[in-house]
Structure 1
Amino acid sequence: MSLISQILLVLSAALFFFIFYLETLATTSDKTSQTFGMTKADLESKSLNVLMRNQGVYNGFIGLGLLYAAFFSSNGKEVALVFLVNILVVALYGGLTSNKSIILKQGGLPFLALLSLIFL
């Protein structure tokens, strides 16, 4: 795996750790409200809060998977490809069903990482 691919995987992991932070630890913060385009009152809803935290845990594990692929897996390229394709499918789905900006915000760095794995 090239150094550029590793850097892009680390940046993608950092993005998903940030999403984890917003959804799990700072669920009702101003930054979470701004990032997801939701009111603080909506974010304080118990049912939504639980769903956000659950989704945040998934995003944290995606970040861990990307780091595992970049530094620890004996088959890092293959592991990274599985995670990156998963991310891009979810970003496309979110963009089509919720907010078009999700495609670039959530899928931009992983798309570059995917391209680097394929072509470098």
Structure 2
Amino acid sequence: MTTLSMILCVLVALEHLYIFYLESLVPNSERTAATFGISAEVLKQETIQTLIKNQGIYNLMLAVGLGYTLIFSTNKVELGILFTGFISVVAIYGGVTSSKSIILKQGLPAMLALLSLIGFN
């Protein structure tokens, strides 16, 4: 794995750790509300709390998967492609179904990492 690919994958993993933090650890904070464009009042609803915390765990698992890939895997490129591919697809889906900004905010870093893994390794 090239240094560029590794740096991009680390950035993607850190982004998903931050999303986990917002969604699962401080789901009704002003920062979470501002980041996701949801009112603080809506975020306080029990159903929304359950849903957003669940979504946060998915983001944590993506970060853990990328972290495992970078630290322990003997096949870093293949697993890196798998995880950044997953994240890219999910970001496109989220952009189409929820908010177009997801494609830029979550998708672009993952897509750049994916392209670097495919093109430079």
Common topology (TM > 0.5): yes
List runs of 5+ in structure 1 lacking aligned partners: none
Q: Note the 1:1-120 alignment, pairs <5 A.
A: 1-120=1-120
| SS across alignment from 2:27 | coil
Query: Does the aligned pair in 2 maintain the 1:91–1:106 contact within 8 Å?
Result: yes
Q: Distance in 2 between matches of 1:25 and 1:54?
A: 11
Structure 1 residue ranges (4+ consecutive) displaced by more than 4 angstroms after TM superposition: none
Task: Tell me how many residue pairs correspond in the alignment.
Answer: 120
Q: Distance in 1 between matches of 2:9 and 2:68?
A: 10
Amino acid at match of 1:81: I
> What's the RMSD between the two structures over aligned residues?
0.7
Query: What percent of counterpart residues are identical?
Result: 47
Q: Distance in 1 between matches of 2:106 and 2:113?
A: 12
Q: After superposition, what is the alpha-carbon deviation per residue over 1:53-109, rounded to whole angstroms, capped at 9, x for unaligned?
A: 011011011001111112210111111111111111110111001110000101111
Query: Does the aligned pair in 2 maintain the 1:5–1:116 contact within 8 Å?
Result: yes
Amino acid at match of 1:98: S
Query: Does the aligned pair in 2 maintain the 1:33–1:39 contact within 8 Å?
Result: yes
Amino acid at match of 1:49: Q
